Each structure stands twice: as C-alpha cells, then as structure tokens.
Amino acid sequence: MDWLSQRQAEIEQSIAAKHLCEGGLIIYDFTSTYEEGTTCTLAQYGYSRDKKKGKLPIIFGLLCNAAGDPIAVEFVEGNVNDAKILSLSLEKVRFIMAQAHRVRSHVFLCLLAYDVEWQMRQRLAPLLFEEEDWLEPFEPTEVVLPNKSQTPAKRKASTQRTSENFPVQSFRTLLTNLATITKNRVQPKLGRVSVSFDKLTIPNPLQHKAFDLLEVALTL
C-alpha cells in the first residue's frame, strides 16, 4: 500500500493522459465516509454526510471524465468545510490537467521523432538492409508478380554490399557513422597574432552518399 500511495500522482497523470482531452467535460464530486477507530489522521470531527453521530468523518472527492471514467481521487480531513474542499478540488484539476498536457506533448514529440526517422529510412534505404521500393504501389492489373526472391534487401543481405559497392548499414550504425562529422574551432599559435576558424570533418564516400540521399549540404 505504501508503494501505491507513493505513486498515486504518477498513476493519476497516466490515466488522465488517456481519458482527458482539451476542452472536455470534467466531473467532480465529494462525499464522506467515517472511521470506526481513532487512529487515522484524516478522521476528524466535522459534518457527517452519513448521519453517524460520534463518528469521525473522512472526506474524499472523485474526478471523472464525461463518460464517468474515474481519473483521480483526493482525501481531506473530515473537519474541512465545503468551500475549502472546492478550492482543493480545483487545485487537483489544475495539477492533473497540467500533467496530462505534458504527457500529451511528450507523446506528440515522440510522433514527430518517429516521422523524422521514417523519412530518413525511406531516403537512406539504398544504404540500409531494407527494401528500396517498398513504397511503390502494387498495380492490380499486373499479370506477373515481381520476383521477390531477388529483392534489393535480400541481395544486400547476401553480399553485404550496396549496388554502388558501399558496405550495407543498419540505421543505427549509419547514424553512428554520420555522427563522426563535427565542426571544430581551430586556434593555431601564430606568435602574438590571435586567429581562429571553424573546420568541418571531411566526409568519407559513404557519408557523402548519405548526405546526398538526404539532400543535405554540409556548411559551416
């Protein structure tokens, strides 16, 4: 139970990201229960909605979306008045919505990153262990299907070379190779003269080909 309590906010944020949307309806209501003993610090003398005289009430509020899916729950001491409970509930809603917005932004960022990777894989396909014509639509009017036993991907896998005799790469190894290109600030010692300039790593033939496929020009 301690493990669950420590992660309540994190779990509620995850649920909110799935079931709440911008501009959507949020339903919030609170009620109370009571404790038979006296050990719970939340149980305090106050208004009992259960009409249990002599019992210590505990107030809790439930946050739901328009469909009634529970999103979050909040507990407060039994002696807190309704105006204070409403204020606390608004703080809870603001916190949940703020966290949900961050989660949605993170997921959207992942989508954008995947789109960049997808575009790069498509353009770099001639250098990768991947098919080079996988986006070409199949024409249903074709009588003879293409011979898939001699696809570029299979040919590259068997020879380990591309059609231009470059070593075939995985997407990760090609990115690692491209990452060796850096811009360096050079400051030669010329006596009292202070001179500095930027210099790019000279790309090797494989890197040149990758940048050509990406239509990227290396500039300072």
201: helix, coil or strand? coil
Q: How far apart are the first and last CA of the chain?
A: 57
Q: Residue 151: how many CA atoms within 13 Å on its side-chain side? A: 14
Confirm whether pTM is higher than 0.85: no
Note the pLDDT tens digit of each residue in 19-74: 887 777 888 888 888 877 777 887 787 877 777 777 888 888 888 888 888 888 88
